[in-house]
Each structure stands twice: as structure tokens, then as C-alpha cells.
């Protein structure tokens, strides 16, 4: 009996692997390079304190597009993905009506703030739609330009501390972020002050005013960065949780042109009127 289970497991694993390989071979951003293109590659050593370049998910363009929630904690209904909500966090979660996941409603009935071209904010932009990104460094900042909705963030590296999170702090959709090199190949940043209207991911996981988000970039070698993102929000979650665990990004050619992906309110309005509302049976 046990070997039958093994056969089934191996078959499933083969299907999954084949699908992943087939996907990566078939669907790709034109002009981009993926790890699958270089099966025998031995990248050179990582440069010291350097994240600059144009970066694409190394395993394929869909590796970090997560409709059903944070990549490493999707809203799957499985026990290992259950978030450690506090009672207050659970209440906030239930108030959000996502268009994906076990609690999904028709998109026209969702209160998801993002599709209407409202700012998606930090960290949802990479927990939902981590696409091509370009990283620039100046002596005092790390700047990240994201393809999705053409957004950018700045991470201060001039030694300042993050502002105190209190009633006087102005909320920001993208938060306040400072970063530092933990060693020559590990850059760690922390964000505070994210506007509470934003969701953490595409299935409506909430965050409170006290949330802190840590992003960790490990320059593994000349071609890769591994990105880890941790949510620390004691008001809504009883312990920190890892939303993104060592997601590999691959360095692209410096001539790679990032295509435009913009949220247009007029295009969204037409989509809503001609597709989403009839799809949901909404009468107006």
C-alpha cells in the first residue's frame, strides 16, 4: 500500500515539476532571462553591498504573482497557513471582502481598495504582484522601481531611525523605511507607518497602525538576490509571520526595458461597467 502512495506522490510531484517547467518555458516576459535558461550556470561571486540592477523572479514571471495571498502564507484553508490573528486582527480580517480565496466575493462586490487604482501600498505590491523591479543605490538611499502600477519606494540608508509611530505621524501608503547592511551581502530594511486602509495581500489580510515590515535581501551570487519579508504586527497577529521566504530574483541585462503596467481609472471604470458588474449580476 505504501509504495502505491509513493507512486501517487511521485506522479503528482512529476506533474507539478513538469507544469512548472512547461510554464517557465512557455510563458515569459519577452527579453527576460530565467534560471531555466541556464541549466549549467555557475554564477560568479556576489558583489559587495550591491543590489543595483533590473530584477525578475528567477523561476518565471508568475512565480511571485499571488492572487490567493502571500506566497508563503496563502489563504489556502490549510492549518500550516493559518495566520496567528489576535481577536482584533480577526475582526479586521473579516471586514475585508476579497475577490480571491475562500472568502471571495464577486469582484464588483469586493471592498478591495487596489483595483480601483487606489495605491496598493507596502508590502502588498510584492505580496500580490511582484514583477520586474529595478533597484538603484545612492550614498543615502536604496530606491526600488516596481513595474506593477509603476510605483517606487525609497529606503533611507543614511543612518536615520524610523519615525516614532504615534498619533502625530502622517500615515503613508508606502510607509517609512530605513535600511542597513547587516553584512556585505545582506541588506535589511524595516518599514513603519503604513496606512491602515491598505491590505497586506490580495486576500485582504489586514495590518494595524503598529505594523512593522522587515524585508531582507541576500545577495547570493552575481546573478541572484533572495528576498524574505516578515510581518510583525502584535496588534493584529500574536507573533511575526514570514510572508515571503527567500524568493529568488534574477539579474537581467542592463538593457532590459521594463514594460509599462499602469492602473488607469478610466480603463478600470470601463472594465467595471462592461465586465465586472454584469459578471456579478449587478443591476445599475
Partner 1 sequence: MKYALTAFIVTLGILAGSASMIAHHGAATFDTGKELVMEATVTEWVWSNPHCFLKFDAKDPNGTVRSWTVETSNPPDMVNRGWTRRSFKAGDQVKVTVEPVKSGNPVGRLLMATFADGRILSTRGPATQGGSEAAPR
Q: Which residues bind partner 1 (CB under 8 A)?
A: 4, 7-8, 11-12, 15-16, 19, 22-23, 26-30, 61-62, 65, 67-68, 99-100, 104-107, 110, 115, 128-129, 131, 147, 202, 259, 261-264, 267-268, 270-271, 274-276, 278-281
Residue with Cβ nearer partner 1 (99 or 229): 99
Label residues 102-138 b or e (16+ Cβ within 10 Å = b).
eebeebbebebbbbebebbbbbbbbbbbbbbbbbebe
The distance of closest approach from Cβ of residue 82 to partner 1 in the complex, given in angstroms and rounded to an integer, is: 19
C-alpha cell at 44: 560568479
C-alpha cell at 150: 509603476
Residue 199 CB partners (closer than 8 Å, separation 6+): 96, 98, 112, 113, 114, 121, 124, 205, 206, 207
Residue (151 or 212) nearer to partner 1, CB: 151
d(CA 1, CA 211): 49
Q: How far is the CB of 29 from partner 1 (least distance, A)?
A: 6
Comparing CB distances to partner 1, the nearer of 141 and 149 is 149
Smallest distance, Å, CB 72 to partner 1? 15
Calpha distance 224→252 (Å, rounded) = 10
Distance in Å, CB of 228 to partner 1, minimum = 23
Give whichever of 85 and 271 is closer to partner 1, judged by the CB atom: 271
Please report how close the Cβ of residue 67 comes to partner 1 at its closest, in angstroms. 5
Give the nearer residue to partner 1 in terms of CB position, either 183 or 262: 262
Rounded to an integer, what distance in angstroms lies between the CA atom of residue 23 and that of residue 36? 11
CA distance 167 to 176: 15
Amino acid at each position: 500500500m505504501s509504495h502505491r502512495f509513493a507512486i501517487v506522490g511521485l506522479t503528482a510531484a512529476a506533474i507539478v515539476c513538469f507544469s512548472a517547467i512547461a510554464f517557465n518555458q512557455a510563458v515569459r516576459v519577452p527579453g527576460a532571462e530565467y534560471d531555466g535558461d541556464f541549466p549549467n550556470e555557475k554564477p560568479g561571486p556576489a558583489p559587495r553591498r550591491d543590489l543595483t540592477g533590473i530584477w525578475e523572479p528567477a523561476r518565471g514571471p508568475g512565480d511571485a504573482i499571488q492572487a490567493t495571498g502571500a506566497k508563503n502564507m496563502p489563504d489556502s484553508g490549510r492549518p500550516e497557513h493559518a495566520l496567528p490573528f489576535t481577536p482584533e486582527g480577526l475582526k479586521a480580517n473579516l471586514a475585508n471582502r476579497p475577490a480571491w480565496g475562500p472568502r471571495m466575493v464577486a469582484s464588483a462586490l469586493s471592498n478591495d481598495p487596489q483595483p480601483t487604482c487606489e495605491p496598493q501600498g507596502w508590502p502588498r505590491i510584492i505580496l500580490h504582484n511582484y514583477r520586474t523591479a529595478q533597484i538603484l543605490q545612492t550614498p543615502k538611499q536604496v530606491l526600488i522601481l516596481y513595474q506593477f502600477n509603476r510605483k517606487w519606494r525609497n529606503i533611507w540608508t543614511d543612518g536615520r531611525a524610523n519615525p516614532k509611530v504615534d498619533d502625530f505621524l502622517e500615515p503613508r501608503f508606502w510607509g517609512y523605511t530605513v535600511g542597513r547592511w547587516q553584512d556585505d551581502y545582506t541588506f535589511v530594511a524595516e518599514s513603519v507607518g503604513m496606512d491602515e486602509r491598505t491590505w497586506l495581500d490580495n486576500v485582504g489580510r489586514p495590518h494595524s497602525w503598529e505594523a512593522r515590515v522587515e524585508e531582507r535581501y541576500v545577495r547570493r551570487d552575481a546573478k541572484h538576490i533572495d528576498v524574505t519579508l516578515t510581518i510583525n504586527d502584535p496588534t493584529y497577529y500574536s507573533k511575526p509571520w514570514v510572508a515571503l521566504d527567500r524568493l529568488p530574483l534574477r539579474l537581467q541585462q542592463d538593457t532590459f526595458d521594463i514594460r509599462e503596467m499602469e492602473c488607469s481609472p478610466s480603463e478600470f471604470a470601463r472594465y467595471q461597467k462592461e465586465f465586472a458588474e454584469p459578471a456579478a449580476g449587478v443591476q445599475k
